Amino acid sequence: MVTMTTMNDRAEPEFSLTRARVERLLAMLDVKRANGGLNADEAKAHEVATLRLFGAGASPKKFARLEAQQVDGVLRGQYRFAGAGQTGRMTSRGAQIQNLARDVLGEEGAAEAPLVDAIADGCDYAGLAAASPVEVPVARKLALLVRPALIAAPGKVFVWGDWSAIEARITPWLAASPDAERVLDVFRANDRDPSRPDIYTVAAADVLHRDPNAVTKPERGIGKVSTLALGFGGSVGALQRMALSYRIHLDDAEARRIVDAWREANPWAREFWGVHRDGESFGLWGAAMSAWELPGQITTAGRLAFVYRDDYLRGALFMALPSGRLLTYPRPRWREIDVLDKDGNPTGEKRHELSFRRAHGRAKLWHGTLAENATQAVAADILRQTVTRIETNPALAWMPIRMTTHDEIVAEVDEARAEEAKAILRREMLTVPDWATGLPLQSEEQVHAWYTKSKAALSGGKP
Residues 350-397 pLDDT 10s: 888 999 998 889 999 999 999 999 999 999 999 999 999 999 999 999
Q: How far apart are CA 422 and CA 445, in angstroms?
A: 6
CA distances from 294 to 297, 301, 418 (A): 6, 16, 55
Q: How far apart are CA 421 and CA 417, in angstroms?
A: 6
Closest residue by Cα to residue 132 from 123, 62, 459: 123
Mean pLDDT of 153-159: 96
Residues 176-218 pLDDT 10s: 999 999 999 999 999 999 999 999 999 999 999 999 999 999 9
Residues 391-406 pLDDT 10s: 999 999 999 999 998 8
CB 132 within 8 A of CB 106: yes
359 domain-assigned = no
CB atoms within 10 A of CB 219: 17
Q: How far apart are CA 92 and CA 98, in angstroms?
A: 6
Rg (alpha carbons) of the chain, rounded to whole number = 24
138 domain-assigned = yes
Last residue of a domain, one of 265, 282, 312: 265
Mean pLDDT of 423-445: 97
AA identity, residue 51: L
| Percentage, residues of the chain above pLDDT 90 | 58
Mean pLDDT of 13-17: 63
Residues 18-34 pLDDT 10s: 777 777 777 778 777 77
Instruction: Based on the fold, state whether residues 34 and 103 are members of the same structural domain.
Output: yes
Last residue of a domain, one of 232, 265, 298: 265
Instruction: Based on the fold, state whether residues 188 and 140 are members of the same structural domain.
Output: no
Instruction: Based on the fold, state whether residues 55 and 143 are members of the same structural domain.
Output: yes
Closest residue by Cα to residue 320 from 301, 306, 302, 300: 306
Instruction: Based on the fold, state whether residues 18 and 100 are members of the same structural domain.
Output: yes
Instruction: Based on the fold, state whether residues 134 and 218 are members of the same structural domain.
Output: no
- Contacts (Cβ under 8 Å, ≥6 apart) of 393: none
Please, where are the H alpha helices in 350-403? 367-391
Mean pLDDT of 278-289: 94
190 domain-assigned = yes
Residue-range definition of the domain harbouring residue 195: 177-265
Number of folded domains in the chain? 3
Q: Within 13 A of 153's CA, how many CA atoms are on the CB side?
A: 11
Instruction: Based on the fold, state whether residues 137 and 161 are members of the same structural domain.
Output: no
Residue 129 vs residue 430, higher pLDDT? 430
Instruction: Based on the fold, state whether residues 141 and 161 are members of the same structural domain.
Output: no
CB 288 within 8 A of CB 317: yes
Residue 5 has pLDDT above 50, yes or no: no
The pairing of strands 361-364 and 79-84 is unpaired
Instruction: Based on the fold, state whether residues 123 and 191 are members of the same structural domain.
Output: no
Instruction: Based on the fold, state whether residues 160 and 238 are members of the same structural domain.
Output: no
324 domain-assigned = no
Instruction: Based on the fold, state whether residues 255 and 215 are members of the same structural domain.
Output: yes
- Cα–Cα–Cα angle for 14, 240, 165, rounded to 5 degrees: 155
Instruction: Based on the fold, state whether residues 212 and 114 are members of the same structural domain.
Output: no
99 domain-assigned = yes
Residues 225-275 pLDDT 10s: 999 999 999 999 999 999 988 888 899 999 999 999 999 999 999 999 999
Instruction: Based on the fold, state whether residues 124 and 201 are members of the same structural domain.
Output: no
390 domain-assigned = yes
- Please name the helix (run of DSSP H) or strand (run of DSSP E) that holds residue 276, with its range, or none: strand 275-277
Closest residue by Cα to residue 442 from 205, 109, 186: 186
- Cis amide bond preceding 13, omega within 30: no
- Contacts (Cβ under 8 Å, ≥6 apart) of 306: 287, 288, 290, 291, 298, 299, 300, 317, 318, 319, 320
217 domain-assigned = yes
pTM to 2 decimal places: 0.88
363 domain-assigned = no
Closest residue by Cα to residue 76 from 61, 63, 65: 65
